[in-house]
Structure 1
Amino acid sequence: MNKVILLNARPVGKPVSSDFKFIEEAMPVANEGQVLLKTKYVSVDPYLRGRMNDSESYIPPFELNKPMASGVVAEVVESKLPGFEKGDFVTGVLDWKEYQAHNGQGLMKVDPNAADLSAYLGILGMTGLTAYCGLMEIGKPKAGETIVVSGAAGAVGSVVGQIGKILGCRVVGIAGTDEKVEMLKSKFHFDEAINYKTTTDLKAAVKAACPTGVDVYFDNVGAAISDAVLANINRYARIPVCGAISLYNATTPDLGPRIQPTMVIKSALMQGFIVSAFAAKFPEAIAQMSTWLKEGKLSYAETVVEGFDQIPQAFMDLFEGKNEGKMIVKV
């Protein structure tokens, strides 16, 4: 039998175990024009929380009693589709199933000898592309400028900071534990890092860490953390808004400082984005990131949880900050 994880209920606030349902179904078979895939690695990402709501967004919501889906690396165990052979590894947005038949659309072959397979869900996958495209296309950093990254110890934030350093910027990260702060400075070479949970005056802490002000703020978090950073932006600052994980589980509207006066006074640019908007830049981004990896200029962190049954818990742990870097489930 084949294990499958369904969306059982739409969460109210933070997701809980009962929002997911495990079922077993008959093993799939590959028909003509299909491949049979065996799931090897599953990506769990904060944006999936939005898809659990029945509300309009940039991507359709998950349907109740239908499989959840996310980025997956899978092995081709049988192929009846030209261009794919048994033993190939592929990545794509796939259902949370141990095995599944697929028509090949949207699948991309990956080379297990060029990088660890899990890297194709992180630094060489959606998160790496998000970091590169958001920073380069919206942030437009220049050598000597100061970049602040919230959610800096996560999969996207840690890459943003490293790219900033490669480009000659001062980089300051904001994270939620002393261990993550130390990792940002020692492993990823951030110039400074701030633990927002133990800092009594975050606005002052950002000012102290950014003596010349903030030129680029890569926002993964939103809410009070972003309020503190925005109070320190320079004239013509650029603010790529990648996410707002602090607000994803809110059950009532959040009200913060009115930012329009600051945006006008500073002539600042704030732009939200989704990575698919930069699809034309993906080949350039992957080539550059791969080069930096080979040159030792980029490194990455992963939190790898083992077991198909652990996928929902790994996802829920994202909202408790239990990951360092990319959260991945090894099946």
Structure 2
Amino acid sequence: MEQVQALIKELRIINKMIYLNREFQNKNIVTIKSEMILRNILASIIKSSNYIINNQKNILQNMISIRFIFEGLITLILLIQDEKYVFKLYYDLLSSERKNIEYRKNQLEQEIKVLENSAGKFSKNIEVTSMINLEEIPRQEEIDLEFFREIIRDNFFIHTSYNDLYKNGLNFQIYCLKEEGIPFYDKELKKLDDEEVIFFQDLKSHAKLFKNKSKEEIQKEFKKTRINWREKAKQANLENEYDYIYGFSSSLSHFSGYSLLTSSTYDPLEEEMILRRLEIYLENIKNNINYYIEKYQLLPYSILYITNEEKDN
């Protein structure tokens, strides 16, 4: 456990060094994209590692976390093997972000339809309320609020809550989603369009590998190299490790007979295995990051020899 914590500390130092070096001048496109990718990888791995060491006896969540860290190790190995891989990763990041925004916008549009359909039913309640005695108004208000609860309970919403309907009412909530929500997502998609344009311009201008290729040719090349995690593990010479980690984590995470029997049962040997794999993966992750940083000269000084003073801070 002490070695794991020491490795996490070293990864934090590496991440800090990359961050402090972010304003260093005369960087090329490889350096700029690599810094961003490495910092995101490091932050995710550190977070997942801390989860494992702070939540022992949670075999299901820890296996999911160790699988995530294992994928981080594979990614770093592929970064070293293929100098174009950092650009593919960055393009995948943009593409994934686009899919997420498009999904959320589509979900918002579906929510608006549901609320608009509900507004027609709700208007009948308002007509009834106008004809009842003042003494019955509190009762009618409770009926209205129950109607809001039913809308939230019976539908899938990520942009509207019961409190939104209670505060805004149906019509104003619909107005807010249309006038604020839709433009927000359109603006985010436009930002991604601009980022993508700049990315491909930079590739053609500053990366020799893509200098004579069109945007469409580059996109086709990136998409062609998209492979599943087993193929990635095979390329990284970690195929056997993949088979075990994925087989075990899948048997726990899916609602199967094995997971029903074991996912909530603490097995000290399984926990020991997870901590051992964590130590091995973190050591390899640190070494691969150090190698990658030196290979592409991402820092003006070597981080392979971290001083005791830096470790203690």
Q: Same fold (TM over 0.5)?
A: no
Instruction: With the length of structure 1 as denominator, give the TM-score of the two structures.
Output: 0.22
Higher-RCO chain (CA-CA 8 Å, sequence separation at least 6): 2
Higher strand share: 1
Instruction: With the length of structure 2 as denominator, give the TM-score of the two structures.
Output: 0.22
Larger radius of gyration: 2
